[in-house]
Amino acid sequence: MDRRKFVQFGVAAGSALLAGDVFGQETKPGAAPSRPSPKRAVFPGGQPAVVTPNGVTLPLKEKGGLKIGHLVAMPVKHTFAPGLEGDCWGYNGRTIGPTIEVVEGDHVRFYVTNKLPEPTTVHWHGVILPNGMDGVSGLNQRPIKPGETFVYEFTFRHPGTYMYHPHFDEMTQMALGMMGMIVVHPRRPKGPPVDRDFVLMTHEWKITPGSRRPDPNEMTDFNVLTFNSKAFPGTEPLVVGRGERVRIRFGNLSAMDHHPIHFHGLTFETTWTDGGEIPVSARRPDTTVLVPVGSTRVIEFVPDELGDWAFHCHMTHHVMNQMGHGMPVMVGADARKIDPKVQSLLPGYMTMGQTGMGEMAEMGMPVPKNSIPMGGGAGPFSSIDMGGMFTILKVRDNPDTADPKGWYQHPKGTVADRADAAAMKADGIDPDARFG
Amino acid sequence: MTTRSFFSFSALTLVLGLSAGCASATLPQHVGEVNDIFAARNRRDLAASVPQDEKDWEKTAAEVPKLLSKPLDADGAVRIALAQNRDLRAAFYEIGIARGRFVQAGLPPNPEIDFGVRRPNDPAQPLQLDIGIEYNLTGLLILPLRKGVAEAELAAERLRVAGRVLDTAYGARTTFYTVQARRQELDLRVRALKAFQAGYAAAEELHRVGNLPDVDLATQRAAVESARIDVAEAENRLLDAREDLNVALGLSGEQTDWTVEAPLPDPPAEEVAPERVEQRAVAASFELQELEARMRVASKRAGLAQTEGTLPHVSGGFHGERDGFAWEIGGHVTVGLPIFDRNQGTVLSARSEFGAQRERYLATATSLRATVRSALNRVESAGRRARHYREAVLPAREKALAETLLQYNAMQVSVFQVLESQRQVTQTGITYVETLLDYWNARAALDQILAGRHRGLALGPAGAAPSNTPSGGGSAEAGH
Ligand SMILES: [Cu+2]
């Protein structure tokens, strides 16, 4: 197969993906539809319900002023992106677990059933509550043994964005995907109301290509980076309206890495941390928000440019899928000096990366089962050669009816393209200019 | 007989004709006798071919050039060896030596005639003429016994030479297998070298464009140069094996240009253990039969010596004397009295010889049974191992290589690791070849025992010889 064929194959494969379910989201009863639900003002002061892309909200029963929820800690079969499945642990059949969405002052009772092969607990990360409800195994409670159901009961006294995760065998249980977001809406919201409210939990995993179980022992070499446990192209885009006020709540329960999340096409302000609301006077415009490990950051913005805007972690290895580091740098090498010799022994071999690695996603080289190395997704112009902690903010005039899978239609003359030779000449541009 | 013999002569050969045919026995006839033994055992494939006329002994058998003109196989090698091997030819001549002794033993003693002439001192007296004839009567009586001994020796010799035929065929076969194995080993070592060269080419290119440090390039280079030595050693082993086969086949000059194409065959899917191997091996054994024949020789020799010892030496004769004009005729008998020398020593030797052969027979039978069992075990074990290599280890290695290539495609491992995995396949291939050689040698040994020969088998230590691992380990790390 020559390179052209690889490219053709890659394009064909990409189209097939696009035609199918590009998000690979298992649709379950109660799961969020791939199209974001129209904004609902269901919380005090007209606050809309939060949307968990690729996720769901925990259903809560109301009973005499008490909100009752049930979390089941359990093994989960999870699809990170088309082609990459994992044997994970999570809550209620998924990772990330369902988003807990309540209002300041809500009195809650959470039943936690352990269907894992080892004990667990739930720690309500960032929530200030009675000490015996804090969930640190051994310190605040005895661990919940497999098969047991514990009950936690407390009041959410402070609005904000929090997280939940186990505090027993944290390394394993979080590495395998046990975590979720908590949103506590204020009873009396301040400031301009938002039209859209999203939660995105960042996380990192080590899954050797061809294996299924994330490696909890990994300390540095994470190769699957996710928003809400999905790696691009498995991440659902966020569809918002031009001129709408949008809130995104980020949480980070990665094992080892902070994530500088960078937005294209807009600036935002960080309005909340997990410690509380940032005074308006202390806010500043940014295009990148650093979300440290163990923290939440809430940003708000009003996009005014239509389009498909990337936002992603800016650590370049965090927007790749399953790249290893067992390879020497190939850039600059002449494949003709290597390939014939290796191919005489191994006809399937092809030197890769000698012109850079950007196009490798399109080559469609056979790779181990259950792996998405050099990942990337189909874009309107070509393959998007990024993976991992990458998704797209789709700014539309009609966000509630727009097709979340559709691409932005650019007005004529607003897409960068090959320069016209005459125009270049007229502008005094010499493409053959030499330097040095 | 009072007169002194003036002159006498003896050994006037009387051609009695009874052994005239045997006396002219030729090489083709000796070979024919041995071939008959194999024909009786339904092993015509072991028939040796020789020129029709002994004078053509230098001639090459007609089938040899035909066999040499195309790539050799094991059966062809055996055919050539049986036609050309000069040690085997010498053994056939040795049958002639035994046959000569047999012929000689069947010849009756010659009569002796005395003439005597005397001139008396008295000139008036006429010449005195004496004539006498003397004949060894005991020699004649003992003749059938002597012949019996020589015949038994001849039979033993034929069996010995039949064993040599088997040795020659076996030697040709196993040497041929070795050539096949060494040729395959060389191919695989060349393949390993190619893998190192490919690794070095990659390293050179990456080094050239500034992506690889000197140490990794040097490591790759060292691996290539060591692999060259491995190839050179394998080449030498192949050349040695070829020369061994030339000797086994009796080839020289242009005849040594033969080629071998087929690799060692895979072992058959399921080994069928021969029934009653021990009994069959004992029944077929030329060694045991030869020892039996030697026992008969010793027994007959003892009988002969005893008879000779107790039988008085009797010779008799007639005597005529012409004195003047009249003949005086008379006879005589000489009797040697077996008083002191009754061949006691020779009898004792011959009986001891018999005892020694009998014990050797039993020892041989014991060792034969053990050898056939161990050959059978070896066939089964080596066969199982070879099948396991073919059906499990090699596919597993190849699968590992394919998966390593996928990991390479997934940018998880380097080209150096891919090549290392390829070398593992090659290395497993080399071990498989050694196991195959072990198997086919064991098969040849078992066949050899069941054909009648259990001495001189090259079973060697069990298990494939640990072949040299390819040099330059650790190269997988290069560039990592
Ligand atoms: Cu990151």
Q: Is A44 on the interface with B (CB under 8 A)?
A: no
Say whether residue A349 is in contact with chain B using an 8 A CB cutoff: yes
Residue numbers in B near A338 (CB within 8 A): 198, 201-202, 205, 415
Give CA–CA dist B390/B411, Å, rounded.
31
CB < 8 Å from A in window 319-358 of B: none
Q: Is B376 exposed, middle or buried (0-12, 13-18, 19+ CB in 10 A)?
A: buried
Domains (range + CATH), chain B:
3-310+317-451 (1.20.1600.10)
Span from the CA of A259 to the centroid of ligand 1 (angstroms): 4
What's the confidence (pLDDT) of residue A18?
35
**Average pLDDT value over all residues in chain A:** 89
pLDDT at B6: 34
| Locus of tokens 């003429």 | B129
pLDDT score, position B466 = 52
Ligand 1 center from residue B272 Cα (angstroms): 65
Residue A327 to chain B, least CA–CA distance (Å): 4
Could you tell me which residue, B124 or A43, shows the higher pLDDT? Answer: A43
Dump strand ranges (E) for A282-412: 285-286, 288-291, 296-301, 307-313, 377-378, 383-384, 390-396
Nearest-by-Cβ selection for A344 from B194, B206, B417: B194
In this complex, which of A337, A366, A367 lies closest to B205 when CB atoms are compared?
A337
Could you tell me if B190 lies within 8 Å of chain A, comparing CB atoms? no
SS3 B35: helix
Pick among B217, B409, B421, B425 to test the A interface (most A CBs inside 10 A): B409
- Is A227 found in the same domain as A353? no
Residue A38 inside a domain? The answer is no
For B98, the token pair is 């035994």
- Nearest CA to CA, how far is B393 from chain A (Å)? 19
State whether A300 and A191 are in the same domain.
Answer: yes
**Inter-chain residue contact B415 with A342, CB threshold 8 Å:** yes
pLDDT in tens, A322-342: 888 778 888 888 989 999 999
Nearest to A299, CA basis, from A325, A278, A313: A278
Q: Are A199 and A161 in contact (CB under 8 A)?
A: yes
Count how many residues are written for chain B: 480
B379-411: b (≥16 Cβ within 10 Å) or e: bebbbebbbebbeebbeebbeebbebbbbbbbb
Digit-by-digit pLDDT tens for chain B (480 residues) are: 333 333 333 333 333 334 344 456 688 888 888 999 999 888 888 888 777 777 777 777 778 899 999 999 999 999 999 988 888 988 998 998 999 999 999 999 899 898 888 888 887 777 788 888 989 888 888 899 999 999 999 999 999 999 999 999 999 999 999 999 999 999 999 999 999 999 999 999 999 999 999 999 999 999 999 999 999 999 999 999 999 999 999 998 989 999 999 999 998 887 777 788 899 999 999 999 999 999 999 999 999 998 888 888 888 888 888 877 788 888 888 888 888 888 899 999 999 999 999 999 999 999 999 999 999 999 999 999 999 999 999 999 999 999 999 999 888 999 999 999 999 999 999 999 999 999 999 999 999 999 999 888 877 777 655 554 444 444 333 333
Reply yes or no on whether the pLDDT at A41 is more than 70: no
Q: How many CB atoms lie within 10 A of CB B202?
A: 29
| A324's tokens | 């290893």
Is there a contact between B418 and A346 if contact means CB atoms under 8 Å apart? yes
Give the pLDDT of residue A359: 67
CA of A317 to the centre of ligand 1 (A): 8
What are A384-415's pLDDT values in tens digits?
Answer: 989 999 999 999 999 999 999 999 999 999 99
- Judged by CB atoms closer than 8 Å, whether chains meet at B407 and A353 is answered as no
Q: Please report whether residue A257 resides in a domain.
A: yes
Q: Which are the contacts of B151, defined by CB distance < 8 A and separation ≥ 6?
A: B102, B105
Q: Are residues A205 and A347 in the same domain?
A: no
Contact, B249 vs B81, CB < 8 A? yes
In terms of domains, do A309 and A331 share one? no
Exposure string (b/e) for A314-336, b if CB count within 10 Å is 16 or more? ebebbbbbbbbebbbebeebebe
Size of interface A-B (CB pairs under 8 A): 116
- Give me the residue from A346, A349, A373 closest to B410, CB to CB: A373
For residue B477, what pLDDT is reported? 39
CA distance B400 to chain A (A): 11
Q: What is the pLDDT of residue B339?
A: 86
Say if A341 is an interface residue toward chain B (CB within 8 Å).
Answer: yes
- pLDDT tens for A131-147 read 999 999 999 999 999 99
> Does any CB of chain B come closer than 8 Å to the CB of residue A337?
yes
Predicted confidence (pLDDT) per residue in A59-82, tens digit: 999 999 899 999 999 999 999 999
pLDDT of A9 strictly over 80: no
Verify that A142 and A80 share a domain, yes or no: yes
Range 194-223 of B in CB contact (< 8 A) with A: 194-195, 197-198, 201-202, 204-206, 208-212, 216
Among A335, A352, A370, the domain boundary falls at A370
Q: What is the pLDDT of residue A16?
A: 35
B422 close contact with A: CB closer than 8 A: yes
Q: Quick check: A352 and B418 CB within 8 A?
A: no
A360 in B contact zone (CB under 8 Å): yes
Of B198, B411, B478, nearest to A342 by CB-CB distance is B198
If asked whether residues A244 and A292 sit together in one domain, one would say yes
pTM of the predicted model as reported, rounded to 2 decimal places: 0.80
Radius of gyration of chain A (CA): 24
Q: What stretch of H or E contains B318?
A: strand B313-323
Tell whether A348 lies on the interface with B, counting CB pairs under 8 A: yes
- How many angstroms separate the CA atoms of A186 and A21, rounded? 37
- On whether the CB atoms of residues B92 and B30 are closer than 8 A, the answer is yes
Interface predicted TM-score (ipTM) of this complex, two decimals: 0.81
Check whether residue A106 and residue A254 sit in a common domain: yes
Rg (CA), chain B: 36
Candidates A37, A48, A97; CA nearest to A71 is A97
Do residues A265 and A237 share a domain? yes
Which of A274, A289, A313 is a domain's end point? A313
Residue A24 is assigned to a structural domain of this protein: no
Domain of residue A167 covers 50-313
Q: Are residues A351 and A263 in the same domain?
A: no
Selecting from B197, B211, B409 the residue whose C-beta is nearest the C-beta of A328 gives B211
Tell how far the Cα of A262 is from the centroid of ligand 1, in angstroms.
10
Predicted local confidence at residue B10, as pLDDT:
34
How many angstroms separate the CA atoms of B375 and B378, rounded? 5
- Nearest-by-CA chain B residue for A327: B414
Do A242 and A341 lie in one domain? The reply is no
Question: Are A227 and A348 in a shared domain?
Answer: no
Domain boundary among the residues A313, A344, A360 is at A313
DSSP run (H or E) holding B464: none
Inter-chain CB proximity A326 and B412 less than 8 Å: yes
Q: What is the pLDDT of residue B392?
A: 96
Counting residues of chain A whose pLDDT is more than 90, the rounded percentage is 74
User: What angle separates helix B277-284 from helix B344-388, to the nearest 10 degrees?
Assistant: 140
Pick from B364, B366, B368, B314: nearest CA to B338: B314
* pLDDT tens profile A272-322: 999 999 999 999 999 999 999 999 999 999 999 999 999 999 999 999 888
Number of domains present in the structure of chain A: 2
CA distance B479 to chain A (A): 5
Please check whether residues A167 and A308 belong to one and the same domain.
yes
Tell whether A208 is within 8 A of chain B (Cβ).
Answer: yes
Tell me whether residue A406 is in a domain. no
Q: How far is CA B377 from CA A81, B380, B431, B462, in A?
A: 56, 5, 20, 10
Q: Do the domain assignments include residue A345?
A: yes
**CA-based nearest residue in chain A for residue B188:** A345
DSSP state of A275: T
The pLDDT of residue A362: 63
- CB-CB under 8 Å, B405 with A210: no
A178 CB-near residues (< 8 Å, 6+ apart): A73, A89, A90, A91, A95, A97, A120, A165, A166
Amino acid at the residue B302: A
Domain harbouring A71, CATH code: 2.60.40.420
Indicate the pairing of strand A296-301 with strand A107-114.
Answer: unpaired
In a domain, A177, yes or no: yes
